[in-house]
Structures are given as structure tokens and as C-alpha cells.
Amino acid sequence: MTVPVRRPARASAGAAVALLAALALFPVVGPAFAVYVLALILVTGLLALSLNLVLGYGGLYQFHHAVFYGVGAYTLAVAVTRGGWPAWLGFLAGPLAAALAGLLIGWFCVRLTRLYFGMLQISLGSLLWIVVLRWYPVTGGDNGIHDIPLPAVLQSVVGAYYLILAVVALSAGVLYLIVRSPFGITLQAIRDNAQRCQTVGVDVRAHQIGAIVIAAFFAGTAGVLYVALERSVFPNLLFWVLSLEIFVMCLLGGWFTFAGPMLGAALMVALRTVIGRYTDLWTMFVGIILILLIFFMPEGVAGTALARLRARGAGAGGRG
Amino acid sequence: MDLSALASQLLVGLSRAMILFIVSAGLSFVLGVLRVPNVFHGSLYMIGAFVAFTIAAWAGEPALGLALAIAAAPLVVALVGLVVERTLLSHLYQREHLMLILFTFGVMLILNDVVKLVWGADYRSILPPAALQGMASAFGLALPRYNALLLGAGPVVAVAMWLFTHRTRVGTIARAAAVDREMVGVLGIDVSRVFALAFVVGCYLAGLGGALVAPTTSISLGMDHTIIIEAFLIVTIGGLGNIWGALVGSLLFGVTQSVGLLVWPQFAVVFPYLATVIVLLARPTGLLRSVW
């Protein structure tokens, strides 16, 4: 795997601010359905970004990331509907519960490596999934929980959109700082050569668990935001198929870039919305796109675009 | 709860374990020889069940229909596997595992919609012939007749796989390729063909599992989702690529689930997953030796 390139910080910061301004103004001009789709893209994008912290930067086979998304969403739903908690407390509890789940699952998983790590995570995650699926009195079983009462501000799509935009922007910023922090750099060093890091005194497992907990926290954040948008939860939120779909988003966008997974999520949600209008066979199209991608663009859309840019820059430099 | 009911329950669990074994043996074989974690293995199992349904419905007469279905459905599935392997998968063997997993996931997404297109979203079922309906009893234990048949099918597949990998030339080459594919290639053997054959054998077993399970269950979209996770976990706790490990893992799955049904029916499905977690923590690389 390659180390992500450092682009000029000022240019990307400018682009981020411009993007944020455009997103903030969008509900003024855009139709309600587009606002809804955009909100869904932001939520899914945060989920993919959080996975990429462990997958792209940590090099861990995080096969069941959706579990943390589901734990966040269900914590909020159960706390509000069964526990009678105020919504804001549920919004705080969701990410924290997800982080706790990350700590538990991560603590077990980092004992193993690669495919075994992934398999243990799938079995632990499936345990949680079955509990959610079968524990009818609390989770509603396979029906899930619907019409979760939330504050009046969130009843409208636009209200939910602004909450989602603010939290996703903040979370993405924090994730970006984490990736660039000494912790993030060490994490990437571990990905590239765990043995060498161990030898120079880095606590490899502690860093990996830390990354899983952080990723789980932000996946849980995405989970509560999903509830803010949809006001319902169902067991497929922590099913392994969703985990693989997030994986595909990271690949689609490019997991060697910071924003790639967000782009991948945007493409995937947009595709689903557009293709889903014409046919219910949209998963077939996702499958075909995925296979084309693996054959022709293994570094994802963002990765390939970056490589092109770099090659052009290098070519121009060479000629000049 | 008396003892014979417990034993009967265990026998039903064992017969279910035989289906799991047949499916996960195929997954394990492909994983061992080709190093491909095949996510669409579960789809092949589902296709096996649907094709078995179509054949049985076409034949009309139940006994003949079931016999034809079990004979032919796995061959259809093997053909699907062959096409995917030759046209796409064979170009990807040099890629890392993550890419292979995502590739097979893509195929799974496509096959799911193909099944939806061909058979629709309805539930289907196959009526077993009269001779296989009702209960068989021996030594005071009652067991549905069809499950007794399944109990016999598992060992037959196990012996057949052993004969194939140890007593045929191509099987031996496949085992050698599992250990060191470059060396096998250096000896002048066309590794690509061996891979294709191994993949087809794995797919055949998925189809066979699907065809065998068809009369005991409602055949529907989504039946691939559970089996593939279970098969992957079985292969992992058994030892990647080790077919006997797949047998041990399947037995563990089947037995813990039937014990779970007795102890706490609502959460019976939790028990095999719990057993998997315990095994993986105690023996991270599986109960038996992995070929990796």
C-alpha cells in the first residue's frame, strides 16, 4: 500500500470551505427529495470515512463495520422509545455505545491478523446482529422500530439535513486531524510494517484498538444521524451485506485518499437512487460496476484521478 | 425433556451439519487451492436449490424428480462456476485477498438479481417422495426420514473428496498447488486448468448442498446470506483449506445449534456463533492445520 500524497494544504482547505458553503446553501434552491438524498449521502459518507480510518490507514480487515453503525442507531432508538430518554441524550449515547462495542470487539480481534481478524469480527458482529434480530421486546426484532419521536426541528427533511451537515462536517474534520496526528501517522506506519513498529517500541495492538474505537465512534455517529433522517431502525443496519457495501464504497472512491470513501458513498447512493427509479434490479448494476472497477480502476475513482493528475504534473515538469 | 428426545434433536442437528459440511467443504477446497474467499458460494447454494425445484417440478413424479434434481442441479451450478472462473476470476489470481473478496461479492450481487429475475421473489418448496416422508426410527430414536438420508450423504461426500484429493492425479496436483503453486507450474503443469477444475468442484459442492437441502426448507431469495456466513466461519474454525476441518466445524455448528434449541429456543442461533468466537480465541488459526 502507498502512503497518501500530501496535497497543498491551503488548496484543499479552500476547496473544503467552498464545498461546505455550497452544501449549506443547497436546501434553499434544491428540491426536498434532492435534499433528502444529499443527507443520506452525507450520513453514508461519514460511515465510509470512519471505516477507512481502520481499513485504508490502519490496514485492518474490518469486515463488519456496519455493526457499529447499527449499535449507534439502535442505542438512540431504544433509549428514546423504550427508555423514555430525551433525544439529545440518545444522540450522545449512540456514538458512545458504538465506541464501547468497538472497544470490546476490537480488544478480541487485534489478537488475530488479516483474514482471521476479519472472520472473528464477522462472528462477533453476527452475534450482535442475532441479538437485535431476536430480542423483540427491546429491539422490535425483524420489524425494527419505526416513528421514533424526535424534536420538532428534526421532523422536516431540511432540519435533519442541517444537523447532519454540521455533524458530518465536524466529524470529517476531526477524522482528518486524527489521520494527520502522530497517532494517525503511527497507525499508517503499523499498516506498512507492524513488525518494525513493534521493534521500535510502538504498542501495535493499543494503536489498532484505538483506531477501531475511534472508527466505531464515528460509525455510531453516522448511525444516530441515520435515525435523525429516517426516524426508524431495522436489523439490516447491522447485517454483513451492508458491511461489504461500505467496503465497496471505500474501493469505489479510493481508499488511499482521505475523501475517497465519501465520494464512493455519494456515487453509490446516487446510483441506487437513479437506477432504483427504473428497476428493482439495482444490485446487479452495483455488482457490474464493482467488477469493472476491480478490473480497470483498482485505486478507485479518486485514486485514479489523483494518479492522472500526478502523472500530468510530472509530465509537464519533465517537458518544462 | 427425556433422553431420547434429546438424542433425536441431536440427530436432526447432525443432519443439518451434513449440509453445512458439504457446502463448506466446497468453500474450503476453493480457499485452499485457489486462495479465493468465494463470497458467491452462498449464491451457488441458493441457485442449486432453485434449479432443483425447477427440475423436480418439471419431472412431476416426486421420487424421479428428486433423484434428477440432486443429480443435475449441482452440475448446472458447476457450469455457472466454470463460466465465472474462465471469463473473469482466472484473470485476478495475482490480486490481494480484499480485491478477490470484493470481486466475488460483486458476482454475488449479480447472481442474486439473476435468481430474482428467473424465479421471482416467491417461496418455493419441493415435496419429498412418499418413501422419504414421515419419521424413521431406530434404537428408539425418531428422525425424519429425509434427515436420515442427509446423515448418510455427508460421509459419502467426505470419502469422495478424500478419494479425489488423494487417489486421483489431478486431485493430488490440486493439493500440491495449494501448498506451492509456483513449484507446480515449474514442473510443467498447467496450473490454470487445475484451478479451474478445483473451482468447479467447489461450486459443484455448493450446488449439491443446495439441492439436498431443498426438500427440507422453503427455497427463497436470501437463503444465501446465512449459509455463506456460516460456511465462512466453519472454514475458519476448521482451519482454512482443510476439508476435515470443515467437517469438524460443521459438526460443532450443528450440535451447538441443536443444543441451543433445547436450552433457549429464541436465541438458538446465537450458540454456534458463540462457539466460533470461543474457538477462534482459543485457537486463532483453527482446530485443524490450515493449508495456508
Provide ipTM, 2 decimals: 0.87
The rounded distance, in Å, linking the Cα atoms of B136 and B71 is 24
The rounded distance, in Å, linking the Cα atoms of A226 and B166 is 54
The rounded distance, in Å, linking the Cα atoms of A67 and A238 is 4
Partners of A116 on chain B (C-beta within 8 Å) are: 236, 280, 284-285
Q: Which residues touch B28 (CB under 8 Å, ≥6 apart)?
A: B235, B238, B240, B241, B242, B243, B245, B246
Partners of A111 on chain B (C-beta within 8 Å) are: 281, 284
Partners of A127 on chain B (C-beta within 8 Å) are: 270, 273-274, 277
Q: Output A45 or B265, whichever has higher pLDDT.
A: A45
Cβ contact A112–B91 (<8 Å): no
Q: Output A174 or B143, whichever has higher pLDDT.
A: A174
Asked whether the predicted pLDDT for residue A104 surpasses 50, the reply is: yes
Q: Which residues touch B57 (CB under 8 Å, ≥6 apart)?
A: B65
The rounded distance, in Å, linking the Cα atoms of A268 and A262 is 10
Domain boundaries, given as residue ranges, for chain A: 30-319
Of A111, A127, A287, the CB nearest to B274: A127
The rounded distance, in Å, linking the Cα atoms of B16 and B261 is 13
Backbone angles phi, psi at A145, to 5 degrees: -125, 130
Q: How high is the pLDDT of residue B1?
A: 56
Cβ contact A294–B225 (<8 Å): no
Choosing among B113, B117, B283, which should be mutated to test the A contact, i.e. which has the most A CBs within 10 A? Answer: B113
Backbone angles phi, psi at B168, to 5 degrees: -110, 155
> What is the fold, at CATH topology level, of the domain defined by B3-282?
ABC transporter involved in vitamin B12 uptake, BtuC (1.10.3470)
Q: How high is the pLDDT of residue A319?
A: 38
Partners of A287 on chain B (C-beta within 8 Å) are: 105-110, 113
Per-residue pLDDT of chain B (292 residues; tens, 9 = 90+): 577 778 888 888 899 999 999 999 999 999 888 888 899 999 999 999 999 999 999 988 888 999 999 999 999 999 999 999 999 998 988 888 888 888 999 999 999 999 999 998 889 988 888 878 878 777 777 788 888 889 999 999 999 999 998 899 888 888 888 888 888 888 888 888 889 999 999 999 999 999 999 998 889 988 988 899 899 889 989 988 888 999 999 999 999 988 888 888 888 888 998 898 899 888 878 888 876 5
Q: How high is the pLDDT of residue B292?
A: 59
What average pLDDT does the segment A88-94 reach? 94
Of B106, B232, B270, the CB nearest to A131: B270
The rounded distance, in Å, linking the Cα atoms of B45 and A56 is 32
Of B95, B102, B280, the CB nearest to A248: B102
Cβ contact B225–A241 (<8 Å): yes
Report CA B7 to chain centroid distance, whole Å: 25
Chain A residue nearest residue B108, CA to CA: A287
Residue-wise DSSP of B44-92: HHHHHHHHHHHHHHHH-SHHHHHHHHHHHHHHHHHHHHHHHHHHTGGG-
Q: Hey, what amino acid is at B200?
A: V
Residue-wise DSSP of A117-186: HHHHHHHHHHHHHHHHHH-HHHH-GGG-B-S----GGGGSHHHHHHHHHHHHHHHHHHHHHHHHSHHHHH
B205 contacts B12 by C-beta, under 8 angstroms: no
Of A108, A115, A294, the CB nearest to B97: A115
List residues of A whose CB lies inside 8 A of any B CB: 61, 108, 111-112, 114-116, 119-120, 122-124, 126-127, 130-131, 134, 239-241, 244, 247-248, 251, 281, 283-284, 286-288, 290-291, 294-295, 298
Listed in sequence order, the DSSP H helices in chain B are 3-34, 41-59, 62-87, 97-119, 145-167, 169-179, 181-186, 191-213, 223-238, 243-263, 270-282
Instruction: Report the percent of chain A where pLDDT is more than 70.
Output: 94
What distance separates the 2 farthest-apart alpha carbons in chain A? 71
Please tell me the distance in Å from A174's CA to the nearest CA on chain B. 27
Specify the 3-state DSSP secondary structure of B137: strand
Partners of A290 on chain B (C-beta within 8 Å) are: 102-103, 105-106, 109
- CB count in 10 Å sphere of residue A162: 17
Sign of the CA dihedral B203, B208, B211, B213? negative
Q: Output A286 or A317, whichever has higher pLDDT.
A: A286
Cβ contact B106–A122 (<8 Å): no
Asked whether the predicted pLDDT for residue A185 surpasses 90, the reply is: yes
Q: How high is the pLDDT of residue A301?
A: 75
Query: Which is nearest to A224 in space by CA: A79, A110, A84, A61?
Result: A79
Instruction: Please name every residue paired with B219 in a beta bridge, in sequence order, or none if there are none.
Output: B124
Task: Name the strand (E) or helix (H) holding A20.
Answer: helix A9-29
Choosing among A119, A240, A246, which should be mutated to test the B contact, i.e. which has the most B CBs within 10 A? Answer: A119
Domain boundaries, given as residue ranges, for chain B: 3-282
Cβ contact B267–A287 (<8 Å): no
A141: left (phi over 0), alpha (psi -120 to 50) or beta: left
Sign of the CA dihedral B206, B208, B209, B211? positive
pLDDT in tens, A57-76: 999 999 999 999 999 999 99
Q: Which CATH class is domain A30-319?
A: mainly alpha
The rounded distance, in Å, linking the Cα atoms of B267 and B51 is 32
User: Taking CB atoms and an 8 Å cut-off, how many pairs form between chains A and B?
Assistant: 107
Q: Which of A41-50, A136-145, B214-223 has the highest mean pLDDT?
A: A41-50
List residues of B whose CB lies inside 8 A of any A CB: 37, 39, 88, 91-92, 95, 97-99, 101-103, 105-110, 112-114, 116-117, 225, 229, 232-233, 236, 240, 266-267, 269-270, 273-274, 276-277, 280-281, 284-285
HEC per residue, B90-103: HHCCCCCHHHHHHH
Partners of B236 on chain A (C-beta within 8 Å) are: 115-116, 119
pLDDT in tens, B232-282: 889 989 988 888 999 999 999 999 988 888 888 888 888 998 898 899 888
Q: Which residues touch B48 (CB under 8 Å, ≥6 apart)?
A: B73, B74, B76, B77, B206, B207, B208, B209, B210, B211, B214
pLDDT, chain A, mean: 88
Q: DSSP E strands: which ranges in chain A?
A: none
Query: What is the distance in angstroms between the CA of the first residue and the CA of the last residue of chain A?
Result: 31
Q: Output A188 or B133, whichever has higher pLDDT.
A: A188
Asked whether the predicted pLDDT for residue A316 surpasses 80, the reply is: no
Q: For chain A, what percentages of helix, strand and coil (3-state, to nearest 5) are there?
A: 80, 0, 20
Please tell me the distance in Å from A297's CA to the nearest CA on chain B. 11
Asked whether the predicted pLDDT for residue A264 surpasses 60, the reply is: yes
